[in-house]
Amino acid sequence: MMHNCLVVCYSRSGHTAKVGREFADLCGADFEAIDDLDSRSGPLGYLRSLYESLFHKEPRISTSGKDPGEYALVVLGTPVWAGNMAAPMRSYLARHRLRFHRVALFCTMGGRGGEHTLAEMADLCGKTPMARVAITDAEIRRGSYRGKLERLQNNALESS
Ligand SMILES: Cc1cc2nc3c(=O)[nH]c(=O)nc-3n(C[C@H](O)[C@H](O)[C@H](O)COP(=O)(O)O)c2cc1C
């Protein structure tokens, strides 16, 4: 059976997951977390994350195994790392991108690199996203990103 919407997020420090879960609640969507198999904590974890994103590495990940091919729409969320998508999101796309039907994209960031990140995700998916939204850490702190989530919902779900 085809489901309506799956939200798939990678999140190292919780921002992307918070926004993604809220979006899933808003839409009644299922949620899938991309987990690291190798820890990214501490300064070494931070440096490895920078390195892997800069050099387009595909680190080891795990998920609960939901099949994105069973969903009419897949919403993909990642933090921006070094002006790119987080490396674990690249691993997820490499593994699953051929299964996607329609996609919508969002990223969280300190403030720079959102456009490039979302463009590269769209490229890798090989599709024009229904919607794309970049949310800053300041907006997350202030809780002022609801308008963006509603825009994402309207653009991504209007024709489903
Ligand atoms: C390794 C690393 C690289 C980052 N690079 C950028 C960057 O290039 N531009 C930016 O605006 N924020 C950057 N950030 C900040 C994160 O994108 C931002 O804090 C995001 O909300 C974190 O999401 P998360 O809590 O879901 O992991 C970086 C964070 C990390 C850990």
Q: Is 1 helix (H, G, I), strand (E, B) or coil?
A: coil
Residue 159 has pLDDT above 60, yes or no: no
Residue 12 has pLDDT above 80, yes or no: yes
The pLDDT tens digits of the residues spanning 99-140 come to 999 999 999 999 999 999 999 999 999 999 999 999 999 999
Q: Is 33 in the pocket of ligand 1 (CB under 6 A)?
A: no
Ligand 1: residue whose CA is nearest its atom 16: 109
Pocket test for ligand 1, best of 34, 81, 115, 135 (most atoms within 8 A of CB): 81
Ligand 1 centroid – CA 22 distance (Å): 19
Ligand 1: residue whose CA is nearest its atom 9: 112
Q: For tokens 């918070």, what's the residue?
A: 18
pLDDT band at 157 (very low <50, low <70, confident <90, very high): confident
Is residue 146 within 8 Å of residue 23, measured between CB atoms?
Answer: no
Amino acid 2: pLDDT: 82
CA distances from 80 to 11, 108, 113, 142 (A): 10, 6, 7, 19
Q: Is 137 in the pocket of ligand 1 (CB under 6 A)?
A: yes
Contacting residues for 108 by C-beta, under 8 A, at least 6 apart: 15, 16, 19, 77, 78, 79, 80, 134, 135, 136, 137, 140
pLDDT band at 155 (very low <50, low <70, confident <90, very high): very high
Amino acid 160: pLDDT: 52
Q: What is the mean pLDDT of residues 14-32?
A: 97
Amino acid 9: pLDDT: 98
Amino acid 126: pLDDT: 95
Q: Is 40 helix (H, G, I), strand (E, B) or coil?
A: coil
Amino acid 158: pLDDT: 72
CATH of the domain at 54: 3.40.50.360
Q: What is the mean pLDDT of residues 10-25?
A: 97
Q: Is 110 in the pocket of ligand 1 (CB under 6 A)?
A: yes
User: Which range, of 42-56, 125-139, 145-159, averages the lowest pLDDT?
Assistant: 145-159
Q: What is the mean pLDDT of the chain?
A: 96
Parent domain of 121: 3-157
Amino acid found at 54: L
Return left, alpha or beta for 60; rule: phi > 0 is left, psi -120 to 50 is alpha, else beta: beta
Ligand 1: residue whose CA is nearest its atom 29: 81
Nearest to 30, CA basis, from 14, 10, 2, 8: 8
CA distance 50 to 140: 22
Number of domains in the chain: 1
Ligand 1: residue whose CA is nearest its atom 2: 81
Q: What is the mean pLDDT of residues 19-43?
A: 96
